[in-house]
Amino acid sequence: MFFHLHQLFPDLTIAGDKVSLLCSTYLSASLSAVHNTSLKHLGFIGSHIGPLALAVVFYETIEKNTIESSKYLDIIDQYHSLLIQEDSNEVLYGRAGYIYALIFIRKYCKDNEEIMSKIGDKKLKEIIKLIIKDGRDGAKKMTVENLKTVNDKITKPALMWSWHNAEYIGAIHGVAGIIATILQCGELAHPYLDELLQTTEWLAELVQSNKNYPARIQSTHDDLIQFCHGAPGILVSFLKIYSLYPTHTSSKNILSNAIAKTDLVWECGILKKGVTGLCHNTLGNAYAFLLTYLITRDEVQLRRALAFGLYGGEWEVKTHKNEERVSDHPWSLFEGLGGGIIYWSDLMFILKNVKQLGVNSESVAQGKVIGFPCFTDL
């Protein structure tokens, strides 16, 4: 959170402390926890990899301490062999989350030849190849019974992954998130582009009668409208895929599908399970509007983003009145106030720079890492 604030507002102080100092303080605490706990997963969000990757970037770009940045990169490198045995490919805990960590480091440390040599194309290619192999194998295992019928024809995706023995399709645990992450690897994803985009188009056809997506294939529940499961996360994934390949033949359909789902998020996206978190709280859903605005420049989407942001600002009153549940981990990034602060900072930056200064929204966003945190903000 503090690193993100530093990227947007480098001179910002909180209670007299620069955000860079606060970033250092909280990062040190996180790294202490890493040293004192065992590794259970390999994703950027749900494991040791996140704090370690942030340490590499923080010490390289803010502290200018190449010794420290190299030290933490070496620790990450020790985990690379575990990816071969890993059976999860999703964003939260699996290989896609590890890919995000590597491209996060590559983005901010691209001028450091030593760092770039340690996490070169070869490592990323190896991980992508493993994910694609599992995706192809998963698609082959799909039976007629669990395929979606569209226009009286049985369709089949080129790729399919499972998590906990179920084919999840959303951003955090499923197909949409895996594809969006791989495509952020640029040219390294090109050998698999047709398969990835064909699967994206197939995914777009899974919309249910209520205009939402199920959490997983054959699920009887289609009422989850949140980032981790349902339309908001798939929408954000589609927006990222479109932004990476805007001229591809499938891109127009992918974008129109994403935009169409913003109405559903507007109507049903205020959640009672919490306000400020990103994963399954209201402000996570708000990114659907903010990121759609950055691509379409549609004022309606910006007003919706602002309305959800203002609603989120009342989180304390609403939880005290029991109108909203306290978030699962109320001070955390993905399930608490930390995520809300990032959303509000992104919204404030866009309002200030796009609305007041009249600059191009896309160029501003790309220069200042506006995107869904730990997912499409590269």
154 domain-assigned: no
Separation of alpha carbons 234 and 257, rounded Å: 10
Evaluate if residue 42 carries a pLDDT over 60.
yes
Confidence (pTM): 0.94
Radius of gyration of the chain (CA): 20
90 domain-assigned: yes
360 domain-assigned: no
31 domain-assigned: yes
Q: Do the annotations mark residue 80 as ligand-binding? A: no
42 domain-assigned: yes
- The 10s digit of each residue's pLDDT in 230-272 is 999 999 999 999 999 999 989 999 999 999 999 999 999 998 8
Give percent of the chain with pLDDT exceeding 70: 93
How many domains does the chain fold into?
Answer: 1
363 domain-assigned: no
Q: Do the annotations mark residue 280 as ligand-binding? A: yes
More confident residue, 354 or 20: 20
Q: What is the DSSP string of 172-185?
A: TTSHHHHHHHHHTT
187 domain-assigned: no
68 domain-assigned: yes
Q: Do the annotations mark residue 279 as ligand-binding? A: yes
Alpha carbons within 13 A on the beta-carbon side of 165: 0
- The 10s digit of each residue's pLDDT in 72-111 is 999 999 988 888 888 899 999 999 999 999 999 999 999 9
Residue spans of alpha helices (H) in the chain: 2-8, 19-36, 49-61, 66-78, 82-85, 95-108, 113-118, 121-141, 175-183, 193-204, 231-244, 251-260, 262-268, 282-296, 299-312, 315-320, 337-350, 361-367
Q: Which range of residues forms the domain containing residue 43?
A: 1-119
